[in-house]
Structure 1
């Protein structure tokens, strides 16, 4: 295999930035009393009749407990029906009721209207070129995509594209009140998912306090991610072990935004900011159990440079230091 051309890397990064802006146009919608996460689950239920909760959690990237609470709300509203699978009595199939399908209609119509508004700006030949190009990109990047939905039970016609819930994510600077949320969200997520005790919450609080006490806007920054005004993620870039090194701290993506690419987007913001400030290297500290984050770091060019076993946060863990040369 030949070396990857820097020009090709630049082109992909440029396209990613361009399409992120375009996706905001396509994904903006009003969900009434539904949160964006609720709308996402409703979308998948409409396009995947007879699904099971484990498959729904996998496709949405939501925590099982978080998803279970959403499904219970839908059931209480008369939108969801559960029935035992006739093929496997251990499985419970999830289906929208007529009321649930009716609740989904405005979301589908608005998503279709947003896409149609973009296509109306083009002539027939350009529309075809655009759709062909999108399908080719999808084929190249995902040679084994999820099966496309063709069910007729959805209240409106299902498009040929694989279902993607409409989500608009906004990144902004840290504001008063955000740092308390960062501590709380980290503590809740790591206790729920990994069983870590409150000494981890204390560590996060110390990191946040240090960020405030020594903050230097010339080379440090924090970001908060929001969906529909709700905080769903964070990341901070601070000065590292020497003047030429930056350090990533407190990366978090809540269940409401998982599967959206937010983690990668937050790391990209840090990398680009570090480059703009003249840093030569970025370092970060993580743990071996954080498999999704570690995979993302590796794909972005970070390398594991040091690790060791220890007991912390009420667990036996392996800490890791990762670095990336800019």
Structure 2
């Protein structure tokens, strides 16, 4: 990563400046103004090194000294108009590099990279400061209907499958119709819905339609918001739904999906689902290979 991002070069981000100077411009852009002492802390450099670098950037016209609002003897540093232009060029360069690299990854991989880098950065900072990294709050799994659940489930489906599979309005309308119909039958205790909550925001869902033929159930509306991926939320939701199915002793639980959703398929199979049917279909809004997975009930023979 150090090599690919150019940190081994004498200059960075096509600026003609060394990495420490580029980071100084970025920090000043993010924080509006800083003292030299604050820069020492942010960059982790010696005071003498920061002083020399600041002087060179002032001479180059990138930053300027202004009076400290609370101490007339002290100075704060801020970007000049030229420095703001340089900052925009740095941002554009960085964005182009990241976008070009991420274009080689799937949506799920991009999400994993983003979350992984963020977590690693937090851990590195905690190690440097000799502190324990903060423990991320675990998302809550809540059972039952709540206001907005239909619209939120539809939105998560529409957003994800528009990006992943280029599904459009017909798919969104199909999901909306199915969810409205199912939620209208939650008075039957054999039907249930669960959501994953990040505070008050719904970031995942799953439902069981327990009115299938011959005492069977259907797993429906299993979806995660991008912010919830890679955190074990899908496994927790599926575990709740399968526990419910076993408590009701459904003869089997089935679900319909389509070919290409490999991460979801691995999770289904980990909970005992097996592929039993495959066919071409267009109900999703375009031609796909539909797949039916079935999980036997607790008293049934394996399929």
Cα distance change of structure 1 residues 316 and 256 upon mapping to structure 2, 3 Å threshold? same
In structure 2, distance between residues paired with 1:164 and 1:305 = 44
2:186 aligned residue:
215
1:156 aligned residue:
129
Note the C-alpha offset of 1:220.
0.9
Larger Rg: 2
2:207 aligned residue:
236
Cα distance change of structure 1 residues 200 and 164 upon mapping to structure 2, 3 Å threshold? farther
Taking structure 2 as the reference length, the TM-score comes to 0.56
Q: Is 1:171 the equivalent of 2:141?
A: yes
In structure 1, distance between residues paired with 2:3 and 2:228 = 24
SS of aligned partner of 2:213: coil
SS of aligned partner of 2:184: helix
| 1:219–1:239 Cα contact (<8 Å) kept | yes
In structure 2, distance between residues paired with 1:266 and 1:151 = 31
In structure 1, distance between residues paired with 2:151 and 2:124 = 45
1:205 aligned residue:
176
In structure 2, distance between residues paired with 1:76 and 1:276 = 57
> Taking CA–CA contacts closer than 8 Å with sequence separation of 6 or more, which of the two structures ends up with the larger relative contact order?
1
Note the C-alpha offset of 1:289.
1.9
In structure 1, distance between residues paired with 2:29 and 2:198 = 25
Cα distance change of structure 1 residues 148 and 195 upon mapping to structure 2, 3 Å threshold? closer
Q: Is 1:300 the equivalent of 2:271?
A: yes
Note the C-alpha offset of 1:84.
7.1
In structure 1, distance between residues paired with 2:171 and 2:283 = 8
Cα distance change of structure 1 residues 316 and 214 upon mapping to structure 2, 3 Å threshold? same
Note the C-alpha offset of 1:51.
9.3
| 2:195–2:202 Cα contact (<8 Å) kept | yes
Q: 1:262 aligns with which of 229, 233, 257?
A: 233
Note the C-alpha offset of 1:270.
0.7
Identify unmatched segments of 5+ residues in structure 1. Answer: 1-47, 53-73, 94-146
| 1:168–1:228 Cα contact (<8 Å) kept | no
SS of aligned partner of 1:219: coil
| 1:150–1:158 Cα contact (<8 Å) kept | no
1:131 aligned residue:
none
Note the C-alpha offset of 1:212.
2.9
Identify unmatched segments of 5+ residues in structure 2. Answer: 6-26, 32-41, 43-86, 100-119, 298-303
Cα distance change of structure 1 residues 76 and 239 upon mapping to structure 2, 3 Å threshold? farther
Note the C-alpha offset of 1:315.
2.7
Note the C-alpha offset of 1:280.
2.5
Note the C-alpha offset of 1:205.
1.2
Summarize the alignment of residues 101-116 of structure 1 with structure 2, pairs less than 5 Å apart: none
Note the C-alpha offset of 1:215.
3.1
| 1:191–1:197 Cα contact (<8 Å) kept | yes
| 1:171–1:224 Cα contact (<8 Å) kept | yes
In structure 1, distance between residues paired with 2:139 and 2:28 = 28
How many residue pairs match? The answer is 199
In structure 1, distance between residues paired with 2:201 and 2:123 = 33
In structure 2, distance between residues paired with 1:275 and 1:286 = 22
In structure 2, distance between residues paired with 1:158 and 1:82 = 31
| 1:234–1:266 Cα contact (<8 Å) kept | yes
Cα distance change of structure 1 residues 295 and 51 upon mapping to structure 2, 3 Å threshold? farther
